[in-house]
């Protein structure tokens, strides 16, 4: 079961809005209302005290009498607040009694409060209560005030209106929050969905073999930026791979065509009896076959070193020591041709693939030997500096022309093919060198002058921060 991003986001926001509103309702109804009730209870007590002290004001200590009209007005005022007052003097004579004043109103009031309380709190256990207070003027006992009310507390119409307004406001807040959650969910998901669905369709295009498209939609979500740039990177590298593959195929076809055409025409001439199949002709055919099989061998090598197949097996080793052992291995060939080979430099350690670096040096030295005549010199030097290891192979050989120099690292490129036919190269050695060095995060370069010699420089990082090829 899968859900769209939009519904997921909207549901989470809705849930959050509901949770907050619910929390608000609980807070208001339980905690706030509890506080409010306590406040009302205290208020009733305080109100009663105030009435008692206002009554004391109406007693004259000199004459020992009550100012009855004022007592009555206090009683009526209290009645308006829902308090039923009865004042007796020190002797127990009733000065003023609300039930005598207006009994009907008293009963009606108590009933009204009871129904107020029942609507708000159906289980409220309250009822009519009375508290008696002694009214004193200084040390003199003036009488007793009995105050009856609906207790332990009661809510007036105003109080009830206040509480229900509060609840209505919470409901409105809740509704607004819900609508905001829905809108926010829709807006946020749309902002995320657009680049995501673009990424999905781009990935689909890639899987169908169209590598040209790129995702251009901008986003400010980090993960989406990472996703789109990963997909763009994927398309980029697939496109490059595709280009390389096409070029390789056409290069190979091109390389095979010449020897095959030669073989074919020679064979046809011999079959048709135009040529005698003598040993010289057969030898020439044999040479072409050798050329083809060498090419196939080189292609195999190239496949191993180029592109995705190149996996580096890194270890720390001494490049100078490696150069020394390569010198020993190749010395015989150099001696045979009469070319002097020297190795220079101090012990230099590097984190790299030893076999592949060895292949690089062998290729460069073989080229140097191939293009250097008897009496010439080839020098292999190892240096270190700025976190890089420099390997240079210089020779005093034929040199490379300015036109050829920029291309020699390309596959199948041979300067002066006729000369190379003799030297037997297929133009792959330097392509392999380049592939290996670049896989190490390094760079290759060459300088040369016709007739004076060439110098090939390899730079590889001493301690690569991260493996560029996994
Ligand atoms: P090849 O198998 O033909 O040697 P490479 O890729 O090794 O192929 O070299 C490509 C071309 O670069 C060679 O054919 C040659 O023309 C030129 N080249 C390479 N190294 C040297 C050198 N040391 N001196 C002169 N020319 C060279």
Identify any residues that bridge with 349 across adjacent strands, giving them in sequence order.
318
pTM of the model: 0.51
pLDDT category of residue 378 using cuts at 50, 70 and 90: very high
pLDDT band per the 50, 70, 90 thresholds, residue 357: very high
**Out of 146-155, 410-419, 454-463, least confident range:** 410-419
* Per-residue pLDDT at 244 exceeds 50: yes
Spacing, Cα 241 to ligand 1 middle (Å): 25
Rounded Cα distance between 254 and 110, Å, is 112
What's the whole-number mean pLDDT along residues 104-115?
Answer: 85
Q: How far does CA 462 lie from the centroid of its chain?
A: 32
Q: What is the pLDDT of residues 283-309, one digit of tens each?
A: 888 988 988 888 888 788 777 776 656
The per-residue pLDDT for 138 is 83
Cβ of 397 less than 6 Å from ligand 1: yes
Q: Give the pLDDT of residue 157.
A: 80
pLDDT at 199: 86
Q: Mean pLDDT for the chain?
A: 87
Cβ-contact 455, 392 below 8 angstroms: yes
Contact 425, 370 (CB under 8 A): yes
- Cα of 262 from ligand 1 centre, angstroms: 24
Banded pLDDT at 467 (limits 50, 70, 90): very low
In which band, very low, low, confident or very high, does the pLDDT at 468 lie, cut at 50, 70 and 90?
very low
Segment among 175-179, 299-303, 353-357, 401-405 with least mean pLDDT: 299-303
End-to-end CA distance of the chain: 36
Side by side, the strands of the sheet bearing 340-344 are: 340-344, 377-385, 388-395, 453-461, 443-449
398 ligand 1 Cβ < 6 A: yes
Whether 76 has a pLDDT exceeding 50, the answer reads yes
pLDDT, position 307: 62
Which pLDDT belongs to residue 299?
Answer: 81
Residues 6+ apart with CB under 8 A from 234: 203, 206
Place of tokens 């560029």: 468
Centre of ligand 1 to C-alpha 270, Å, is 35
Task: Give me the pLDDT at residue 211, please.
Answer: 85
Give the mutation target among 425, 445, 452 for probing the ligand 1 site: most ligand atoms within 8 A of CB. 425
Q: What mean pLDDT comes out for the span 128-156?
A: 87
pLDDT value of position 236: 87
- 434 vs 443: CA distance, rounded Å: 7
Per-residue pLDDT band at 389 (split at 50, 70, 90): very high
pLDDT of residue 120: 78
CB 403 within 8 A of CB 433: no
What's the 276 CA to ligand 1 centre distance in angstroms?
Answer: 37
Mean pLDDT along residues 164-184: 89
pLDDT at 424: 61
Per-residue pLDDT band for 218 (boundaries 50, 70, 90) equals: confident
Q: Is 393 in the pocket of ligand 1 (CB under 6 A)?
A: no
Band (15; pLDDT cuts 50, 70, 90):
very high
Predicted confidence band of residue 459 (pLDDT cuts 50, 70, 90): very high
The answer to whether the CB of 345 falls within 8 A of the CB of 320 is yes
Counting beta carbons within 10 angstroms of the beta carbon of residue 403, is it exposed (0 to 12), middle (13 to 18) or buried (19 or more)?
A: exposed
pLDDT tier at 470 (50, 70, 90 boundaries)?
very low
Any atom of ligand 1 within 6 Å of the Cβ of 78: no
- Ranking 27-36, 102-111, 368-377, 460-469 by mean pLDDT, the lowest is 460-469
Label residue 339 left, alpha or beta by phi (over 0 means left) and psi (-120 to 50 means alpha): beta
Question: Which pLDDT score, from 0 to 100, does residue 326 have?
Answer: 95
Q: What is the pLDDT of residue 252?
A: 80
SS3 track for 276-317: CCCHHHHHHHHHHHHHHHHHHHHHHHHHHHCHHHCCCCEEEE
Quick one: pLDDT at residue 215? 82
Quote the radius of gyration of the chain (alpha carbons, Å): 52
pLDDT of residue 369: 94
Atom of ligand 1 nearest to the CA of 429: 7
According to the model, what pLDDT value does residue 332 have? 93
Over residues 306-346, the pLDDT tens digits come to 665 678 889 999 999 999 999 999 999 999 999 999 999 99
How high is the pLDDT of residue 346? Answer: 93
Q: Is the beta carbon of 345 within 6 A of some atom in ligand 1?
A: no
| Higher pLDDT pick, 100 / 305 | 100
The predicted structure's pLDDT at residue 100: 87
């Amino acid at each position: 079961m899968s859900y769209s991003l939009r519904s997921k986001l909207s549901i989470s926001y809705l849930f959050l809005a509901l949770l907050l509103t619910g929390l608000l309702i609980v807070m208001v109804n339980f905690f706030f209302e509890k506080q409010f009730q306590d406040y009302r209870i205290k208020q009733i007590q305080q109100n009663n005290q105030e009435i008692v002290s206002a009554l004391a004001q109406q007693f004259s200590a000199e004459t020992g009498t009550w100012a009855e009209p004022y007592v009555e007005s206090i009683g009526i005022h209290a009645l308006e607040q829902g308090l039923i007052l009865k004042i007796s003097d020190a002797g127990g004579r009733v000065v003023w009694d609300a039930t005598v004043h207006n009994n009907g109103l008293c009963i009606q009031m108590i009933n009204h409060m009871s129904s107020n309380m029942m609507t708000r709190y159906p289980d409220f256990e309250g009822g009519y209560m009375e508290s008696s207070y002694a009214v004193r003027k200084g040390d003199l006992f003036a009488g007793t005030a009995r105050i009856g009310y609906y207790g332990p507390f009661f809510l007036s119409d105003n109080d009830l209106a206040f509480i229900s307004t509060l609840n209505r406001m919470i409901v409105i807040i809740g509704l607004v929050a819900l609508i905001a959650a829905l809108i926010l969910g829709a807006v946020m998901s749309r902002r995320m969905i657009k680049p995501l669905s673009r990424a999905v369709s781009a990935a689909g295009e890639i899987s169908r073999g169209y590598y040209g498209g790129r995702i251009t939609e901008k986003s400010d979500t980090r993960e989406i930026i990472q996703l789109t740039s990963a997909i763009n990177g994927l398309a980029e590298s697939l496109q490059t791979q595709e280009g390389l593959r096409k070029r390789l195929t056409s290069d190979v076809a091109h390389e095979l065509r010449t020897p095959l055409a030669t073989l074919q025409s020679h064979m046809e001439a011999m079959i048709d009896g135009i040529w005698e199949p003598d040993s010289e002709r057969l030898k020439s055919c044999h040479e072409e076959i050798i050329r083809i099989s060498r090419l196939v061998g080189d292609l195999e090598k190239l496949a191993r070193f180029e592109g995705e197949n190149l996996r580096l097996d890194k270890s720390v080793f001494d490049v100078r020591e490696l150069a020394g052992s390569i010198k020993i291995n190749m010395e015989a060939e150099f001696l045979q041709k009469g070319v002097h080979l020297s190795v220079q430099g101090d012990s230099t350690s590097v984190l790299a693939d030893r076999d592949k670096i060895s292949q690089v040096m062998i290729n460069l030295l073989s080229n140097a030997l191939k293009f250097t005549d008897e009496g010439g010199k080839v020098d292999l030097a190892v240096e270190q500096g700025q976190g890089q290891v420099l390997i240079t192979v210089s020779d005093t050989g034929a040199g490379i022309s300015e036109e050829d120099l920029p291309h020699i690292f390309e596959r199948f490129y041979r300067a002066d093919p006729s000369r190379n036919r003799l030297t037997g190269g297929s133009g792959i050695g330097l392509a392999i060198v380049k592939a290996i060095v670049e896989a190490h995060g390094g760079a290759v370069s060459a300088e040369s002058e016709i007739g004076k010699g060439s110098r090939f420089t390899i730079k590889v990082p001493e301690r690569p921060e991260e493996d560029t090829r996994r």
